[in-house]
Structures are given as C-alpha cells and as structure tokens.
A and B are shown apart, each in its own frame.
Chain A
Amino acid sequence: MNAILHAQQLTKHYPGSIALDHVDFTANAGESIAIIGPSGSGKTTLLHCLAGILRPDAGSITLNTPSAPLRLDTLADAALSRLRREEFGFVFQQGMLLPELTAVENVALALMLNGTDRATSESRAAEWLAALGLAGMEQRRLGELSGGQVQRVAIARAQVTGARVVFADEPTGALDSATSTEVLDVLLHSVAANGRTLLVVTHDPQVAARCQRVVELRDGRIVADSAGGVHVPAAPPAQTAAPIHNAADNAAAGNNFKGAFNV
C-alpha cells in the first residue's frame, strides 16, 4: 500500500496537558481509518494536525501528492488553507455549512472556492446530492432539512472537489442511531467508491467496526492499531474495539455509487 499521509513524532502541548505525545502515524491511499479513544485522548488534535488545521509543536507531517511530497508542518497559513480546500474534505458534527445558502449552493461553494465556475459547480453539486439520496432537495435551506440530510450535504461538500483525503470528526455525533447508520453508510460507501482515504474520529463502536482499520489513542499516544506493525509504547496491551471488516465489503456495498461520480 502506498502512504498518502505520513506523520512522524507529532507532539502538541497545551498549557497543563500534552495532547499528542510523539505520535507516528501513516494513512495509506484508499484506507478508511477510525480513530477511537477516551475523551481528551487527543483524537481531534491528531485529526487537526494531520489536516493542516493545527500546527504541531514538533514532528513532521507529509502529504504525498502526485507531483511531490508536501510538508504540512512547514507550510505557510495561506498555503495550508488552500491545501485544505483543494486536497482535503471535511465532515464535522456541525457548523461547516451556511444556513443562508441552499443545499446545492453549500456544496457548490466548495468548488467555486477552487475557481470552478458557478454553473459547473452547481450541476456537479446537484449530481452529488442526488447520488447521496437528496434528489429534489437541492433548493432547500439547511433549516428545511433533517439532521441526517444535513450531514449528507456535508458529505457531498467534502467530496465534490475530488478531495483525496476526507477527515470526519464525530460525523454522526448529533444523530440518533438509526440515522447514524444511514449517514455512515453514505459516508463509507461514497468514500470507498471514489478511492478516497477516510479518517474518522468517533466514539461509536459501530462506526469503528465498519472501518478497515482502527487506531486507538490514549493520553496522546497511539496504543493500538489494527493494521499492526505499530510500535505500542509501554502501555496496556492493544485491544481493538471491534472486528474489522475487510476492504472488499465496503467496496462491494459502494458499487452503486460509482457511476455517479466522475470527479
């Protein structure tokens, strides 16, 4: 497997706590990875460092792009911002969509920010919404959509630009369990169908169970990695939260998504 995102000795301190403690981590292209761990263990901090949102105090982060490897930890703010909108996609629990825009405009905005013209952006956005089960709801404002539908809009927004890595932080945290499952299906299938890499922070064992790989954090260190080969420091023995499906499951389930996306 080829590494797409590679972090070495990542360290991040906050006054009075250490959020990341010399973390080594590699994400391979096309993998879906769940990041689990107790509250305050550094999951969000790790995700934000890998995504170029937070700057680590020490350590390096390398993104392998088709042209040349990029060092995120040394990139200037403006370049990082650009990298985030061009190379990455994000699904947060809430807040990344604008309530005054319609569903289709919210998704199209991601493309427009990258310089795509409005007509093309909106038609591609509409294709994505339709593929994620929101056909006919393009012109609705966020307030007129259910929580699960809003998250589908966010999932469409995260991928419409052709992002190679999708970062999700508790994407189903605000949803009931039935809706969570649906949204999760949509996320996993659409990401897999397009060959993207997914990093999802979650508390939900059900979510972790459906990712190809599970990484567990505790006190700012990786204490378990289902991919194996990870140097677990002197910590309690690694115990993955749940069985890990293999890639074929998700890919098969995601087949119906493939045709729709030609990003």
Chain B
Amino acid sequence: MSSLTMALRLTPYLARSSGSSLRETGLRDAGLPILAFGTVTALLLTVAGGSQVFWSWTDDIAGTYQALAVVAMVLLIIPLLTLGASAARLAARRRDDRLASLRLLGANSATVVWMTVIESTVLAAVGAVAGAGLYACTAPFLGLIQFRGQSIGSHAWLSVPSIAGCILAVCVLAAASAALGLRKVVVTPLGVRTRQTADGAHWVRGLIAAVVVAIGVVAMGMLSSFGAFIVIIAVMGGCFGLALLALNLMGPWILRLRASSQLKRAKGPEQLLAARTVLESPKESWRQVGGVAMTSFVGVFVGVGMAVADTMGTAGDTEATLLVRDINTGVMITLLGSFLMVACSAGVNQAAAVLDRASTLVALDRVGMPRKLMVAARVKAVMSPLFLVAGISAAAAAVLVLPLTGAVLLTRPVVFLTIGGVFAAGFLLVRLAVAAGTAQIGQVLARPERYASVDS
C-alpha cells in the first residue's frame, strides 16, 4: 500500500478515534490555522480586487500601476509561504501525541508527512473559503478606495473563477510549505526537542551580506554607463533582489547578535528566557518577523520618497500627483497587509511552539514557574526581534531618503504620522496574534495529563 493511500485511510480514522478529544480541543486548536489562512485569502483577494482595475487601463501610465501591483503581491507572498509552513507545523504538533500510535499501526514517515499535508490543506481550504466570504463582505467598502481620482467601485469584485483560483492557490501553497516544513521534523521525530546545539547564525552571513551589498552599490554606481533603458531596469531589479538576499542573510545574524547582548544584560527570568529562545534558533525568529523588514523598508522608502515627489515640481501635472497619491495608498495597504500576515504567522507559530514543548511547560508549571512568566517570555521573544527588524529597516530607508526630505518633514507631517500609525497598528496586530497563540499555554496547563511526560 502506498503511503498516500495509507494516509488517506488513516486520517479520517484518527479524527474519529479521537472523537471526544477532537471535539474538546481539536476545533479550538484548528481555529488558529483556519483564521490565519482565512485572513491571508481575504488579503490576497483584496489586493487582487483592488488592483484589478489597473489591468483594465490601456494608457501609458497603466504599465506603472500594473508593475506596482505585482510588486505588492510579491511582497505579500513571501510571508504567506512562512505562514503555510507554520500552519503545517501546528498541524503536525496537534498530531504529535498520536504519532507514536501511528508508528505502531505501521505508518512510515511518508505516511505521516502525507497525513499532515492533507490535514494542513484541509484547514487551508476551510480558511480560504471563509476568507473569500470575508472578502465578499468587504468588497463594497473596497470599492470606495480611489485610484487616479476615481473610486474603483464594481472593479473591486473579482470574477468567480479568479476567486476559485485564489482559493486553490492558497491550498497548493499550504500543501507545499507543509511538506517542506515537515521534512526536518519527520526525519527525526524527536529532532525538534532534542536538538543538541543551537542553530548557527554565523558572522560569515554578515560578511556575505556585506559583499552582496557592495556588489549592488557598485552596480548602481555604474548604472548610468549601461545606456540601454532595459539594462538599467534589469540592473535595478537585480539590485532589489540582491538587497532582499542580503537582508535574509543578515537577518538571523543580527537577531543573534542582539539576543546575545540581551542575554548578557538580562536581569530577570523573563529576559533570560526570551533571549535564549531567540538564540535557540535565530533563523526561526527571523522567519517569523522577516516579512516586516522588507515592507518596512519599502514602506518608508516609497512613502517618504513619494511625499518628496509630491512637493517637488509636480505642480499642474495632475496625472503625476495622482500617481504619487495612489502609490502611497498602495504602500500603506501593502504595509498593513504584511503586518497582518506576520501577525497570523506569529500567532500560529506560537501555538505550535507551545504544543512543541507542552510537556516541559507542564513540568515547569508543576515546579512553580508562574504562567504569566511563560507567556511574557514568549511575547518578548517575538516582539523584541519585531521592533528591532522594523526599526532597522525603517531607519535604513529613512537614511536613504531623508537627505532629500528635510523640508518635507515640516511641510508634510501627515505622511510621517500615517507611516507611524501604520507601524503602530501593525505592532498591535502582531501583539494580539501572539496573545492568541500563547493562550494555548492555558489550554495545555488545563489538561496536564494529556501532555505530561511518561513519568508524572
């Protein structure tokens, strides 16, 4: 029997056999991934619907709008992949206590992978359909958004096939990232818990990133000598890609540096635990908050840049003024969207991480560690890297554009207030999602016997 057929046969069986516990905790556990996938789908549909109108234009400037819409989608898809992987991990963890019995039933690793992929895909499908419903509810309001001075109106509605396609795409992404995310876990079922050494986040990463940046700077410096427009565009695109690559290389290393210094300075148990959590796997921390780095950078860069453009030499050129305003609208939506994704991902990740070490949490509770502290340490382990990452990227972008913008600061304070407001809302969203994820601690401790290790 192939692993897939075995998995297909076992999945419903396990769902039935664990009937009562599924009713008690399963639905609650499943709520978070469904919510996350729902949000993501609604967001994707909203961005697609909001930008749909661009594709109906045929004039000169339409190309610019279309390109920007694609950039926005790309910026959102990366956090979506992370979210898929987190949701898969959560699905795997929910099964954890039953993995052993599965093995006894003769299931091999492939079967376990398939089962998790199936479960994760089903959750994604449920969430995606709910998300589509949410999108349908918000579309009338979406229609009120203005681009080029006109509200999009009925253009906010996507065709049914596009919606179905989007749902399908979310399911496929969920399945793919579940399979990828799980490979490691399955190779050694205990690998996650018994990891011998902390994840490396070597200084070599910093070095490689510096080299990458240097190459980019040199290429940008030579830009004007390239002549052909298409080459210039290609080089600029390449540099943007290099910047993202550098960011991804450097991210974990920076988080590790910062956590090491926090570890040294830690006074109370909360700081100690939070710093150690990040140090345990800087890459994991980075995966959770990295999505914000990119959008913060783009958000501040474009937002401030556009404000400058707005005040300079565009007088009388209504089309350019509108483009500037529209880009601002788009950037803010993308920035919020990216925070929303990071929030979903952080919430789901926390829930998975809590289940990951449920037996340790039970033991720590028994030896008298306050629950508040367990939660506080986890919250800190997410929020502290988030602030750092958002702060560094926003500052980097600001350094690049501010020399141009001294005056703007005074004439257009609204731009800065808007950006600041979006960041504040984003942080709040992530904080709420982490609270939802860590609420799982209460559920674990309420049923210690389900998670306690063999002896106690």
Contact = CB atoms under 8 A, between A and B. Distances in A.
A binds B: yes
Interface of A: 44, 48, 51, 53, 78, 81-86, 88, 90, 92-96, 98-101, 105, 109-110, 112-113, 117-118, 141, 143-144, 157, 169-170, 173-174
Leading 6 A-B pairs by shortest Cβ distance: A85-B368, A93-B455, A84-B368, A95-B363, A143-B196, A96-B363
Contacts of A82: 368, 370
A220 to B, nearest CB: 17
A166 to B, nearest CB: 11
Given A98-B276, A98-B360, A53 B366 contact: yes
A90 B366 contact: yes
Interface string B368-386: 1111010000000000000
A44 B455 CA distance: 9
Contact of A113 (B193, B267, B368): B368
Interface centre among A98, A101, A173, A174 (most CB of B within 10 A): A98
Contact of A95 (B197, B266, B371, B453): B453
Interface in B353-404: 359-360, 362-371, 373
Given A93-B455, A169-B456, A85 B367 contact: yes
B277 interface: yes
A123 to B, nearest CB: 15
B369 A100 contact: no
B162 to A, nearest CB: 45
Given A95-B363, A98-B360, A113-B370, A143 B268 contact: no
B189 interface: no
A144 B456 contact: no
A100 B280 contact: yes
Contact of A94 (B196, B198, B371, B453): B453
Interface string B443-456: 00000000011111
Contact of B196 (A90, A101, A144, A170): A144
A143 B453 CA distance: 18
A44 B452 CA distance: 12
15 contacts: A51-B366, A53-B366, A78-B370, A82-B370, A84-B368, A85-B368, A92-B453, A92-B455, A95-B362, A96-B366, A100-B198, A105-B276, A113-B370, A118-B266, A143-B194
B427 to A, nearest CB: 25
A170 B452 CA distance: 14
A94 B455 contact: yes
Contacts of B453: 92-95
B272 interface: yes
Nearest to A80: B368
A83 B368 contact: yes
B278 to A, nearest CB: 9
Nearest to A118: B267
A88 B266 CA distance: 26
Contacts of B360: 95-96, 98-99
A210 B197 CA distance: 37
Interface residues of B, number: 34
Interface centre among B363, B368, B370 (most CB of A within 10 A): B368
Given A95-B362, A95-B363, A100-B279, A141 B368 contact: no
Given A92-B453, A92-B456, A93-B454, A84 B279 contact: no
Given A110-B367, A118-B268, A141-B198, 14 more contacts: A44-B456, A81-B368, A81-B369, A81-B370, A84-B366, A98-B276, A98-B360, A100-B276, A112-B268, A118-B266, A118-B267, A118-B272, A143-B197, A157-B367
Contacts of B367: 84-85, 90, 96, 110, 157
Contacts of A105: 272, 276
A105 to B, nearest CB: 7
B302 to A, nearest CB: 39
B198 A113 contact: no
B195 interface: yes
A170 B373 CA distance: 28
B421 interface: no
Contacts of B197: 141, 143-144
Contacts of A85: 367-369
B200 to A, nearest CB: 14
Contacts of B364: 96, 98
A113 B377 CA distance: 13
A159 B270 CA distance: 21
Contacts of A98: 273, 276, 360, 364
Nearest to A93: B455
Interface centre among B194, B269, B364 (most CB of A within 10 A): B269
Nearest to A119: B267
Given A84-B367, A95-B360, A143-B196, A113 B455 contact: no
Contacts of B269: 109, 112-113
Nearest to B372: A78
Contacts of B276: 98, 100-101, 105
